[in-house]
């Protein structure tokens, strides 16, 4: 049962335990508050009328009680989304404050070609978000690890074909059908065609493993970048998150973070430093853009 809940809610064991605890404590708080209100109203709970009033009270109090308990347990985002779905299922409306404060859901498509470590970090970051959803994984390599991540996370994926991708807008309808608001390149090695850039102006972002405008352009990815940085005896490298335009690594820079390049660094050791920066800053920058 617990394994099915973990898969359904896409949470790990610790978060599942905290969610169950929140349900239990929230239910207890709801029942306690309902009894106190009946006493204050001088209503006899044992009567039929009193029982009906009690049921109405706990129905109204339960969402507030659960949200109150969820906050210190770090599960507020999960329960906010959970309660919203309940309201939608029964044809209700969100509470007025939530309606005013919560923007409509934004949908992300992640384009990746490799193992998908950045994709996994992004998925984890938005796992319990109430208004940002990873809607689609797009990949150009049938054996790429990111496809296994998509399957594990139960996120729809598309395996794209080169000629169709570069000629026209063959895959654009699929993106539009999924209401994609932002395309995130996470180790995607193909150049994005002009038709897609025009369809999503300033809505396609990439992360480059160097401080642009240095060490950018065609063929500058992964180990090639780190080796060039070391060979040129740079003392600093880092990441550049930027918009994507028609030229490789040319779009306006959104965010940069740096790390030192030590004398004994190798392309492999420098790559580890860069990956740490990517995992730390890419999801947060994406969240800032969508806000």
The model's pLDDT over 88-126, given as tens digits with 9 standing for 90+, comes to: 666 544 444 444 344 588 999 999 999 999 999 999 999
Tell me what pLDDT residue 178 has.
92
Q: Where in the chain is the domain with CATH 3.40.50.170?
A: 106-290
The model's pLDDT over 5-49, given as tens digits with 9 standing for 90+, comes to: 766 666 677 878 889 999 999 889 888 888 888 888 887 867 888
Segment 242-259 mean pLDDT = 94
Segment 48-65 mean pLDDT = 85
Whether 170 sits among the annotated catalytic residues: the reply is: no
106-290 is classed CATH 3.40.50.170: yes
The model's pLDDT over 174-199, given as tens digits with 9 standing for 90+, comes to: 999 999 999 999 999 899 999 999 99
Tell me what pLDDT residue 93 has.
47
- Catalytic residue, chosen from 42, 125, 208, 250, is 208
Tell me what pLDDT residue 57 has.
83
pTM above 0.75, yes or no: no
3-state secondary structure the chain: CHHHHHHHHCCCHHHHHHHHHHHHHHHHHHHHHHHHHHHHCCCCCCCHHHHHHHHHHHHHHHHHHHHHHHCCCCCHHHHHHHHHHHHHHCCCCCCHHHHHHCCCCEEEEEEECCCCHHHHHHHHHCCCCCCEEEEEEEECCCCCHHHHHHHHHCCCEEECCHHHHHCCCCCHHHHHHCCCCEEEECCCCCCCCHHHHHHCCCCEEEEECCCCCCCCCCCCCCHHHHHHHHHCCCCEEEEEEEECCCCCCCCCEEEEEEEECCCCCCHHHHHHHHHHHHHHHHHHHHHHHHC
């Amino acid at each position: 049962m617990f394994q099915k809940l973990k898969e359904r809610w896409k949470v790990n064991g610790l978060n599942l335990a905290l969610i169950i605890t929140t349900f239990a404590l929230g239910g207890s708080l709801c029942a306690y508050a309902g009894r106190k209100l009946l006493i204050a109203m001088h209503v006899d709970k044992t009567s039929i009328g009193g029982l009906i009033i009690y049921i109405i009270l706990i129905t109204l109090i339960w969402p507030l009680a659960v949200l109150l308990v969820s906050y210190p347990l770090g599960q507020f985002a999960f329960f906010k989304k959970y309660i919203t779905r309940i309201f939608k299922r029964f044809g209700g409306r969100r509470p007025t404050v939530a309606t005013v404060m919560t923007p409509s859901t934004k949908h992300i498509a992640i384009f990746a070609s490799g193992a998908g470590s950045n994709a996994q970090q992004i998925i984890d970051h938005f796992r319990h978000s109430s208004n940002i959803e990873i809607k689609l994984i797009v990949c150009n390599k049938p054996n790429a690890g990111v496809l296994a991540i998509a399957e594990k996370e139960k996120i729809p994926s598309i395996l794209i074909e080169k000629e169709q991708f570069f000629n026209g807008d063959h895959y654009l309808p699929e993106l539009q059908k999924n209401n994609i608001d932002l395309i995130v390149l996470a180790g995607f090695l193909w150049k994005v065609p002009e038709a897609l850039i025009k369809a999503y102006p300033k809505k396609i972002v990439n992360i480059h493993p160097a401080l642009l405008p240095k060490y950018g352009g065609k063929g500058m990815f992964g180990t090639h970048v780190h080796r060039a940085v070391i060979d040129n005896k740079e003392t600093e490298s880092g990441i550049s998150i930027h918009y994507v335009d028609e030229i490789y690594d040319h779009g306006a820079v959104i965010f940069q973070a740096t790390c030192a390049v030590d004398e004994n660094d190798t392309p492999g050791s420098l790559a580890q430093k860069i990956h740490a920066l990517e995992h730390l800053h890419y999801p947060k920058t994406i969240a800032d853009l969508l806000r």
